[in-house]
């Protein structure tokens, strides 16, 4: 018998039927994957379970008993905890203070029992085996440690249902394995875990069963041990994907983008590279290697100490993102919600943010021409939105990423910096991003693709620059060498070309 049951849940938003009689059943001591493309309804379903949204129809049962969940506090009281992609922690507070936030241990006089609170928090953190001191401020932690603090919060609540939404997106391989170890321990203790991830290889490794949604309806429930990666993908997207990385080869033109001697902050040291028209330059490296910081310095988001940037052979002086845009450089940032979008603005306003001068007529904007241009890009990228006036925060992650891409495509840039462009989006949306990259290089653009996923880099590159501790250790050319993951790891950990023959 399932501990958690959601039966025929329906939810409608203006212009969108997000869920249409969707059901989910999770047993105690089970890791249950909830899968589907962006916009399939996964987030809506778990937000109903967490009390953030109210269902229009259907029922929720816990251990066979019908419950109504009207708030996050009520969900917690029922033993339901959710760890969102955007962690819900206060950086200035310690791990213990975050764990007991809103429910401190008190003495009889009503005073906070700090000693007991730190003791219990430390016991919970020790159980997770991450070496976290309960007195450490969250802002001094890495992402993996922050996630463990979130899990400790759930343990303190004695949660029987734990929902994890894309928990491994920012983690390294080693950190992911540590997280899986914790999940398996919680499974042994009878916790029902709902696991949402676009990393299907992880689903095959750690999950017991999977419920798959598409367009707000149930597709199937399957035992993970009896299925394959291709079968999961086919259920999710409704078709076979013949090629995960549809890289096209185009004839490369002249070099149109060059960076010389770039240094910035502590993580970018004397970086130099060039990119030709029609070329995809991948950028590989471990966490902290300086990949994102390099892109941010190029685009004027971070101040550079030294270095020059050239576009089409002409040196451009960039001290702000506005300078970069005028120079013909577009930047799809790693943090699409914090830096790529204005969540309080609508789809149309976000798409034209980098292109407003195109629609100026005197001191006014030609709103009719602007709307027609936005409509064209919404159609080109198949952005699923009920209208151009929809707030972008209400779109799924994949459609939000498409809005970011539409913004830079409309800017008519000739150089595109992509920083983790497929992070947190489903397999079908990833293919669409790759096809957008293909379209750009067909038009003669220069593309810099930063990614933590080595298969993605190996599938889409012409050359790969590998970074280690802020510097480029090698630039590998597809036409000269067959690049492997082992080779990328060798250079990403500081290996040099002199000893490369050993790998």
Interatomic CA distance for residues 418 and 414, integer angstroms: 13
Q: Predicted confidence band at 441 (pLDDT cuts at 50, 70, 90)?
A: very high
Q: Predicted confidence band at 106 (pLDDT cuts at 50, 70, 90)?
A: confident
Interatomic CA distance for residues 188 and 182, integer angstroms: 10
pLDDT tens for each residue of 53-69: 999 999 999 999 999 99
H/E stretch holding 292: helix 291-298
270's torsion region: left (phi>0), alpha (psi -120 to 50) or beta?
A: left
113-117, 276-280, 397-401 — most confident range: 276-280
* pLDDT at site 498: 59
CB count within 10 Å of CB 355 equals 21
In contact, 419 and 295? CB cutoff 8 Å: yes
As a whole number, the mean pLDDT across the chain is 89
Q: Is the pLDDT of residue 375 over 90?
A: yes
* The model scores a pTM over 0.75: no
353-367, 414-428, 433-447 — most confident range: 433-447
Q: Predicted confidence band at 241 (pLDDT cuts at 50, 70, 90)?
A: low
pLDDT tens for each residue of 136-150: 999 888 777 888 888
Q: Identify the burial level of 116 via C-beta atoms within 10 angstroms of its C-beta, where 0-12 means exposed, 13-18 middle and 19 or more buried.
A: middle
**Encoded tokens for 125:** 């953190």
Mention every residue, 6+ apart, whose C-beta is less than 8 A from residue 277.
252, 253, 254, 255, 256, 444, 445, 446
Q: Is the pLDDT of residue 250 over 80?
A: yes
* pLDDT at site 176: 83
CATH architecture of 255-328+413-498: 3-Layer(aba) Sandwich (3.40)
Q: Which residues pair with 112 in a beta bridge?
A: 106
Domain residue ranges in the chain: 4-237, 255-328+413-498, 343-411
* pLDDT at site 422: 87
* pLDDT at site 215: 86
pLDDT tens for each residue of 308-360: 999 999 999 999 999 999 999 999 998 888 888 999 999 999 999 989 888 98
* pLDDT at site 310: 98
| Least confident residue range of 12-16, 47-51, 209-213, 458-462 | 12-16
> pLDDT higher for 102 or 375?
375
Strand 161-165 relative to strand 16-26, pairing: unpaired
DSSP string, 149-195: HHHHHHHHTT-SEEEEESTTTT--HHHHHHHHHHHHHHHHTT-EEEE
Interatomic CA distance for residues 172 and 186, integer angstroms: 21
pLDDT tens for each residue of 377-395: 898 888 888 889 999 988 8
State mean pLDDT over 262-285.
95
DSSP string, 418-472: EESTTTT--HHHHHHHHHHHHHHHHTT-EEEEE-S-HHHHHHH-SEEEEEETTEE
* pLDDT at site 499: 54
CATH architecture of 4-237: 3-Layer(aba) Sandwich (3.40)
Interatomic CA distance for residues 257 and 344, integer angstroms: 34
Domains 4-237 and 255-328+413-498 share a fold: yes
Coil, strand or helix at 130: coil
pLDDT tens for each residue of 158-184: 889 999 988 887 677 777 888 898 899
Q: Is the pLDDT of residue 500 over 60?
A: no
Mention every residue, 6+ apart, whose C-beta is less than 8 A from residue 272.
258, 259, 260, 261, 262, 472
CB count within 10 Å of CB 218 equals 18
Interatomic CA distance for residues 356 and 431, integer angstroms: 29
- Cα torsion 401, 404, 410, 411: sign: negative
Q: Is the pLDDT of residue 86 over 80?
A: no
Q: Is the pLDDT of residue 229 over 90?
A: no
């Amino acid at each position: 018998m399932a501990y958690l049951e959601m039966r025929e849940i329906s939810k409608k938003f203006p212009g969108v039927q997000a869920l249409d009689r969707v059901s989910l059943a999770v047993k105690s001591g089970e890791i249950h994957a909830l899968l589907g493309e962006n916009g399939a309804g996964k987030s809506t379903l778990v937000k109903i379970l967490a009390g953030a949204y109210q269902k229009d129809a259907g029922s929720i049962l816990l251990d066979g008993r019908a419950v109504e969940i009207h708030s996050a506090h009520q969900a917690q009281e029922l033993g339901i905890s959710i760890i969102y992609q955007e962690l819900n922690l206060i950086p200035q507070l310690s791990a213990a203070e975050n764990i007991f936030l809103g429910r401190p241990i008190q003495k009889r006089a009503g005073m906070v029992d700090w000693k007991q609170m730190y003791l219990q928090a430390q016991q919970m953190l020790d159980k997770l085996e991450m070496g976290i001191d309960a007195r450490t401020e969250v802002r001094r932690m890495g992402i993996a440690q922050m996630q463990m603090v979130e899990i400790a919060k759930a343990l303190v609540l004695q949660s029987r249902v734990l929902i994890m939404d894309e928990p491994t997106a920012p983690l390294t391989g080693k950190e992911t394995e540590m997280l899986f170890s914790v999940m398996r321990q919680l499974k042994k203790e009878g916790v029902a875990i709902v696991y949402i991830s676009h990393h299907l290889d992880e689903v095959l490794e750690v999950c017991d069963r999977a419920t798959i949604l598409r367009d707000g309806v149930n597709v199937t429930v399957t035992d993970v041990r009896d299925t394959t990666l291709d079968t999961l993908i086919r259920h999710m997207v409704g078709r076979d994907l013949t090629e995960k990385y549809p890289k096209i080869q185009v004839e490369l033109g002249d070099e149109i983008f060059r960076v010389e001697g770039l240094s910035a902050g502590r993580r970018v040291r004397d970086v130099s590279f060039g990119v030709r028209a029609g070329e995809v330059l991948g950028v590989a490296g471990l966490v902290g290697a300086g990949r994102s910081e390099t892109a941010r310095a190029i685009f004027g988001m971070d101040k550079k100490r030294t270095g020059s940037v050239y576009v089409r052979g002409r040196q451009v002086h960039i001290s702000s993102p506005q300078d970069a845009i005028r120079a013909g450089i577009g930047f799809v940032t790693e943090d699409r919600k914090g830096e790529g979008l204005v969540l309080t603005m609508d789809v149309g306003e976000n798409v034209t943010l980098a292109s407003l001068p195109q629609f100026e007529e005197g001191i006014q904007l030609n709103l009719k021409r602007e709307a027609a241009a936005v409509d064209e890009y919404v159609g080109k990228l198949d952005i699923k939105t009920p209208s151009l006036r929809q707030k972008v925060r209400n779109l799924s992650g994949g459609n939000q990423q498409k809005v970011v891409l539409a913004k830079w495509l409309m800017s008519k840039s000739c150089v595109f910096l992509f920083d983790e462009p497929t992070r947190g989006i489903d397999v079908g949306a990833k293919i669409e991003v790759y096809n957008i990259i293909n379209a750009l290089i067909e038009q003669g653009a220069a593309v810099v693709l930063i990614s933590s996923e080595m298969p993605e880099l190996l599938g889409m590159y012409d050359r790969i620059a590998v970074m280690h501790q802020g510097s480029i250790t090698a630039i590998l050319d597809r036409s000269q060498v067959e690049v492997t993951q082992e080779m990328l790891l060798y250079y990403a950990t500081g290996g040099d070309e002199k000893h490369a023959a050993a790998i």
